[in-house]
């Protein structure tokens, strides 16, 4: 807690002095969600699903069809009849004529076919919306991991630079003692080698930091070479016992909602297909015009009620069964995912417990390693310890600082993983 408070104070002082505040994780999330292409894709899917719902709801509205055409016969249509024993022929229509009509059709009873279609579209929309939430959580987790990676490597770089500084100071002591004839040349060579290795470590860590920053910028859809300044802030660990966290995860994870709504959608689609085999009743009405000078009325209004009933269809039953079996497959996936989510929560929770213990141990070890190096270097200057003792003490110090940094950032990452597992990132 004291270490985190120190980081916050340092961040505030930096903002005050430079008028440029380091980017927080919340800022990074907002930037990613506004610019990330995966999020834009998920939002487009949601918009498409909304249009599909409106399309399903539109099946209840009247259909208005307007058609027109011109027909030309090779002969004038005529009829024959017998009048007083004589064959008579008269025209019944023109050889060329125009026909036009405007017919409206309204379904008044579909045995539930349209209702099930609408229910399926609504469930599908909810599934897509939950999938969009999943995409948001996934992107936020990727950004958080990249954020922690940058902070971790920055800390490793600071340790590597301090390692170089310590060895440079030790190199001065070795050279001074060598010039006085108090140590062998072997000490100078060994110190030089250690310093070169430390400088190489700085070079490698700088490269890793550049890569980590580029990855961070890529997730936020920025120029890969943009400067990255991050605040040492991460969300708190979600409160609650393990059982409570697992229970909350099963209620809150959008992946489970997505599967549940997909199952519901498939079930409604299966019911809609079955309903298509039952009576379908519609009311039709409109105006028809047939150009025909031999006809008393060329234009007429009409209305009728029609019923369509498929007594046998060789494909609808199989399509309904296929949809039902797809729903059964998704139920199995949902059960498996529930078990996997419980495992994720448990693993993240255990990781937090482990890192808390590591942090407590490494905090004590840091003070001891720093004191051990100080004592060893003083003894070396007095001729009471060897160059090897100093180098080992410095290696122990850097290892201890690295262990503390790794434990701290592993703990921060475990807390983020737990929040993601619970569904509240």
Question: Can you give the pLDDT at residue 266?
Answer: 95
- Residue 327 domain-assigned (yes or no): yes
Question: Can you give the pLDDT at residue 103?
Answer: 95
- Residue 34 domain-assigned (yes or no): yes
Per-residue pLDDT of the chain (425 residues; tens, 9 = 90+): 344 444 444 444 445 444 457 899 999 999 999 988 888 899 999 999 999 999 999 999 999 999 999 999 998 888 888 877 788 888 888 889 999 999 999 999 999 999 999 999 999 999 999 999 999 999 999 999 999 999 999 999 999 999 999 999 999 988 988 888 888 899 899 999 999 999 999 999 999 999 999 999 999 989 999 999 999 888 888 888 999 999 999 999 999 999 999 999 999 999 999 999 999 999 999 999 998 888 888 899 999 999 999 888 888 889 999 999 999 999 999 999 999 999 999 999 999 999 999 999 999 999 999 999 999 999 988 888 898 999 999 999 999 999 999 999 999 999 999 999 999 98
- Residue 409 domain-assigned (yes or no): yes
Q: Where are the beta strands (DSSP E) in 6-95?
A: 63-72, 78-83, 86-91
- What are the φ and ψ backbone dihedral angles of 94, each rounded to 5 degrees? -80, 155
Question: Can you give the pLDDT at residue 88?
Answer: 82
Angle CA 348–352–354, to nearest 5: 115
Q: Which helix (H) or strand (E) holds 305?
A: strand 299-308
Give the total number of structural domains in the chain: 1
- Residue 403 domain-assigned (yes or no): yes
CA-CA-CA-CA dihedral for 316, 317, 322, 327, to nearest 10: 100
Domain CATH number, residue 398: 1.20.1600.10
Question: Can you give the pLDDT at residue 12?
Answer: 41
- Residue 201 domain-assigned (yes or no): yes
Stated pTM of the model: 0.81
CB-based contact 55:44 (threshold 8 Å): no
What does each C-alpha distance from 387 to 162, 184, 189 come to in angstroms? Answer: 19, 10, 10
- Residue 290 domain-assigned (yes or no): no
Question: Can you give the pLDDT at residue 9?
Answer: 44
Domain that holds residue 206: 21-66+111-278+318-422
């Amino acid at each position: 807690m004291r270490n985190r408070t120190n980081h916050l104070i340092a961040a505030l002082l930096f903002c005050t002095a430079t008028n440029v505040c380091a980017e927080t994780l919340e800022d990074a999330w907002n930037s990613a969600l506004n610019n990330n292409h995966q999020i834009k894709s998920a939002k487009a899917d949601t918009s498409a699903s909304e249009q599909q719902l409106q399309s399903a709801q539109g099946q209840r509205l009247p259909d208005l069809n307007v058609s027109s055409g011109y027909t030309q016969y090779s002969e004038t249509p005529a009829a024959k009849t017998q009048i007083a024993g004589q064959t008579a022929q008269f025209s019944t229509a023109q050889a060329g004529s125009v026909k036009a009509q405007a017919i409206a059709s309204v379904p008044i009873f579909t045995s539930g076919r349209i209702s099930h279609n609408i229910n399926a579209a609504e469930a599908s929309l909810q599934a897509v919306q939950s999938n969009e939430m999943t995409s948001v959580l996934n992107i936020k987790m990727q950004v958080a991991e990249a954020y922690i990676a940058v902070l971790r490597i920055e800390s490793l770089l600071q340790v590597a630079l301090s390692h170089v500084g310590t060895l440079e100071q030790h190199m001065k002591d070795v050279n001074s003692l060598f010039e006085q004839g108090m140590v062998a040349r072997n000490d100078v060579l060994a110190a030089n080698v250690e310093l070169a290795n430390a400088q190489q470590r700085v070079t490698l860590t700088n490269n890793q930091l550049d890569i980590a920053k580029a990855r961070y910028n890529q997730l936020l859809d920025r120029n890969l070479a943009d400067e990255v300044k991050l605040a040492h802030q991460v969300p708190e660990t979600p409160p609650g016992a393990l059982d409570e966290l697992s229970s909350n995860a099963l209620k809150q994870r959008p992946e489970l909602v997505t599967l549940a709504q997909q199952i519901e959608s498939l079930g409604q689609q299966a019911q809609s297909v079955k309903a298509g085999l039952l009576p379908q009743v519609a009311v039709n009405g409109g105006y028809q015009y047939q150009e025909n000078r031999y006809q008393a009325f060329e234009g007429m209004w009409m209305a009728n009620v029609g019923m369509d009933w498929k007594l046998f269809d060789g494909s609808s039953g199989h399509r309904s069964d296929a949809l039902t079996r797809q729903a059964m497959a998704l139920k199995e996936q949902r059960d498996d995912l529930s078990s996997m989510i419980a495992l994720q929560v448990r693993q993240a929770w255990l990781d937090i417990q482990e890192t808390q213990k590591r942090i407590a141990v490494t905090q004590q070890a840091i003070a001891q390693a720093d004191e051990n190096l100080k004592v060893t270097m003083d003894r070396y200057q007095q001729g009471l310890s060897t160059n090897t003792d100093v180098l080992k003490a410095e290696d122990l110090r850097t290892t201890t600082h690295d262990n503390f940094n790794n434990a701290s950032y592993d703990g921060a990452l475990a807390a983020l993983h737990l929040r993601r597992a619970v569904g509240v990132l």
